[in-house]
Structure 1
């Protein structure tokens, strides 16, 4: 049964990432907790690997399309602050209470849901300068390491608003940043001996079905009404956030 639920989790995560682009990876930790049965610390660590592998697949797919190439200058600037803060976020997450981590994740899910329920705004881009991009990069990197999400739903708007990138270029750049941040955070846990016990079978199953799901999701995305999919996903996020709150409150201690 666990194997079936793990495969289902991989497909759900991959499909959500393929259809929605930024934001889909936020389902990974709840899926690992509720469907696969991992505890919070293990779910966050495994999520870093799964999200990184799926984002890497998305990046490879983007290489086939010239308009979906990442912006090199912005990528380098963002990575300068996001990579070190991802490592620090992962190390902080290893020592603080799992309840605090779940609290941060719930807040992020609510923020993401609200953003998806709102009508998309026009792209009023501003050239905010290097310092603001570095600050946003540090924040999103820390969030990635702390709670195991890709942070694309924060990175993409930041790249559009502060770096002046188009949505397509911002999403492509975001995927590369997610790969970098999740890799740095996961390696930080391993080298400092703060990683939980790894479940190789779960990782391989999730990554394999997640990659298949993201490829299928990118195909399906062209056939579905985007605004309806985003609204449905937003309500699912709110429901899952409520479930995480109930789970946390019901745990002893």
Structure 2
């Protein structure tokens, strides 16, 4: 089993380290189709793996000053309600239906990454979100305005991310990073580092919500997968400096679509 678990965990970790938000979404399909776990055990095990990887991964960002700890904790706590709701909701959904929904989620992430890549290409390699942060200091010169709309968007986004984490067992970084950039005006590197704090809190709260559920976990597989994923994130961080971001984005998008179609085909056939 280790001969399969370690390489898979390493690949997932590399994707997470190189691409940030969205990399951990491959964990559940890997646990189901390559390691033989049932969907509910896979989503629960994924919470452990993603949580541990994010917790360890935040350390170098924290040392480099790329983490707004207070804002990350607040965002994470705002999503606790959604995480509990998503965890409870997942128990009412049959395994094959859960996998079909997960395939749809992967396709949505693939579309988001494609749009981000094209927008960055139009802006000379800088995404609109990153470009927006450059004008953030000018906000201080404007007359005071109620930030109610921003607060509503922040709470809604945090709740939605928590719901995704609890239901699917994913980190939700693909939604957290843009939210931190657009709503809190964090620079992209800081948003990536801060998102790991959010992911850790959401994963932990979702896992707590599942403690009373009848789920069997293979702790040997989870430990090996987590260790390989953590190592992979270190490798992925180095890959970023050597490969163009748009090429990494494109390669990961293609992989996401392929895995999503495979997941949907296998699950839909079981439902028919």
State the SS of the aligned residue for 2:91: helix
2:51 corresponding residue in structure 1: 52
**TM-aligned CA deviation for residue 250 of structure 1:** 2.2
Given the alignment, which residue of 248, 256, 261 partners 1:237? 256
Give the superposition deviation at 1:108.
Answer: 1.7
Q: Deviations over 1:130-168 (max 9, x none)?
A: 222011100010000000110000111111112211111
Aligned to 1:89: 86
Are the equivalent residues in 2 in contact too, given 1:75–1:173 (CA < 8 A)? yes
Counterpart of 1:130 in structure 2 is: 151
Q: Secondary structure at the match of 2:155?
A: helix
State the shift of 1:195 in Å. 4.5
TM-score (norm. length: structure 2): 0.86
Q: Which moved more, 1:217-226 or 1:18-27?
A: 217-226
Matches within 5 A, 1:210-221: 210-221=229-240
Which of 1 and 2 has higher RCO (CA within 8 Å, sep 6+)?
Answer: 2
Confirm or deny: 8 A CA contact 2:96 2:271 kept in the other structure: no
Q: Distance in 2 between matches of 1:48 and 1:96?
A: 18
RMSD value over aligned CA atoms? 1.7
Residue correspondence of structure 1 range 6-25 to structure 2 within 5 A: 6-25=5-24
Distance, in Å, in 1 between the alignment partners of 2:158 and 2:239 is: 31
In structure 1, the partner of 2:142 is none
Partners of 1:230 and 1:195 lie apart in 2 by: 37
1:181 matched residue in structure 2: 202
Q: Are the counterparts in 2 of residues 9 and 32 from structure 1 also a CA contact under 8 Å? A: no
TM-score with structure 1 setting the length: 0.92
- Segments of structure 2 that go 5 or more residues without pairing to the other structure are 121-126, 137-146
Q: Output aligned runs, 1:48-197, within 5 Å.
A: 48-66=47-65, 68-72=66-70, 74-118=71-115, 119=118, 120=120, 121-123=127-129, 124=132, 128-190=149-211, 193-197=212-216
Cα deviation digits, residues 95-126 of structure 1 (max 9, x gap): 22223322332222112111222323422468
* Separation in 2, partners of 1:89, 1:100: 15
Size of the aligned set, in residue pairs, is 248
The residue correspondences of 1:199-214 to structure 2 (distance < 5 A) are 199-214=218-233
Structure with greater Cα Rg:
2
Shift of the alpha carbon at 1:79? Answer: 2.3
Structure 1 residue 171: deviation in Å?
0.9
State the alpha-carbon separation in 2 of the partners of residues 117 and 75 from structure 1: 26
- How big is each residue's C-alpha offset from its partner over 1:177-219, in whole Å with a ceiling of 9 and x where there is no partner? 00010111112111xx214111011011001111111111112
- 1:35 paired with 2:4, answer no
CA spacing shift, 1:200–1:19, aligned 2, 3 Å: same
